[in-house]
Structure 1
Amino acid sequence: MEYEILVRLLTAVFLGIVIGIERQWHKCIAGLRTNVLVAVGACLFVMLDFASGGESSMRIAAQIVSGIGFLGAGVIFREGLTVRGLDTAATLWCSAAIGTLAGAGFLILATAGTIIVVAVNSILRPMADWIDRYNHQHGKITSSQKVLSKDKMSI
């Protein structure tokens, strides 16, 4: 039982590191340490139930989902008409889900989730930026949407 707990915990740490490196690389608000701590924290809460022989892991998982919402809300900022941090908040939510899956013993599913999260954040970022630039250049953006930061438009 202790070996299985250790494997689950180390899996959550590793997968949190993978997501955190991508976030840190792109200089996001919540980077390496935050994503690892979210994944590990979710894993530990679920494993507490597993280690104690309880059967309330679904209730614990539900509380993780609500609790991470407060953490995610803390990284969302409004600058004029622009909202920043939504991707970071969503990634923290995914890190918690991955930690929950690892803690519950679904290591392959947690790994697949990590690959998808990193792929979405890495591959779709340039695509979204291209769409924003294209719309901006072709006048398809309303005046309220033209408030985008100059950094985002120059990529």
Structure 2
Amino acid sequence: MSEKEIILRLVLSCILGGAIGFERERNARPAGFRTNILVSLGSTLAMIVSIRLFLEFNHIQPVDPGRIAAQVISGVGFLGAGTIIREGFSVKGLTTSAGLWAVAGIGLSLGAGFYLSALVATLLVILTLTLLSKVEKTISNVHRKYLIRVKAFDQPGPLGKVGSVLGDNDIIIRDISIEHCYNEPNIYINFRVKKPKHIEVNYLFVLLTEISGIIEVQIKELD
């Protein structure tokens, strides 16, 4: 393996890892542009080192060229776990974690000199993260996920009334949290819900603002 070959593999690793990282950065994911480049570059370097150790020292003592690569996969698993966040009953970051694992595989492929495999895998990962995410939103569920943030007077009643309105409109409540307003006798009630497509956001907004004791309503669609 020549020095030019090593440089080519490392540079390609930065480019392919950056291509995937750019998509993650654009969508404000925990592991973005630089993280994906570093994972890809580190994996490529580990594979190159494994191969060089095999070529240089195997005649002295048997060397397994896949040993370091295997440790890369395990190490990226711990890194990916750090991007997974639990919020109430939902879990976020699984796609980002899987993406890091895929980027590590691409880096290992480049380090081993499997250029076509790495290029095709990069293209498929990008297509999966972009085009297929739109398809998933279209066909995955009849319900869409929303965050409903309600500001109300700190008194009995608003929570139950909002819950009744949501239930009457077939809206599934996944999680509820309550925050006290700073220097105000009011509270924020956060509902993470799944809303049927036939229920319009504007219609739901009007229903909630008409509830006595409600001061302000915010509705935001979640990924």
TM-score w.r.t. structure 2 length?
0.62
State whether structure 2 residue 178 is matched by structure 1 residue 108. Answer: no
Partner of 1:89: 97
Q: Secondary structure at the match of 1:28?
A: coil
Displacement, 1:140?
A: 9.9
Partner of 1:125: 133
Q: Which amino acid aligns with 1:118?
A: I
More strand by share: 2
Displacement, 1:49?
A: 1.7
Map 1:2-151 → 2, pairs under 5 A: 2-52=3-53, 53=55, 55-132=63-140, 134-136=141-143, 144=174, 147=193, 150-151=220-221
Q: Secondary structure at the match of 1:57?
A: coil
Q: How many residues get paired?
A: 151
Contact 1:68 1:93 in 2 (8 A): yes
Q: Which amino acid aligns with 1:29?
A: P
How far apart in 1 are the matches of 2:16 and 2:105?
Answer: 11
Unaligned runs of 5+ in 2: 145-168, 176-191, 195-218
Contact 1:17 1:36 in 2 (8 A): yes
How far apart in 1 are the matches of 2:15 and 2:113?
Answer: 14
* 1:126 to 1:140, Cα distance in 2 relative to 1, 3 A: farther
**Which of these two proteins has the greater Rg computed from alpha carbons?**
2
Contact 1:8 1:105 in 2 (8 A): yes
* 1:128 to 1:50, Cα distance in 2 relative to 1, 3 A: same
Q: Deviations over 1:20-69 (max 9, x none)?
A: 11111111111000000000000011111223325523222211111100
Unaligned runs of 5+ in 1: none
Tell me the C-alpha RMSD between the 2 structures: 2.4
How far apart in 1 are the matches of 2:73 and 2:3?
Answer: 26
Contact 1:5 1:47 in 2 (8 A): yes
* 1:60 to 1:69, Cα distance in 2 relative to 1, 3 A: same
TM-score w.r.t. structure 1 length?
0.87
* 1:101 to 1:79, Cα distance in 2 relative to 1, 3 A: same
Contact 2:84 2:94 in 1 (8 A): yes
Q: Among all aligned residue pairs of Structure 1 and Structure 2, give the percentage whose two residues are the same amino acid.
A: 40
How far apart in 1 are the matches of 2:86 and 2:133?
Answer: 20
How far apart in 2 are the matches of 1:80 and 1:150?
Answer: 17
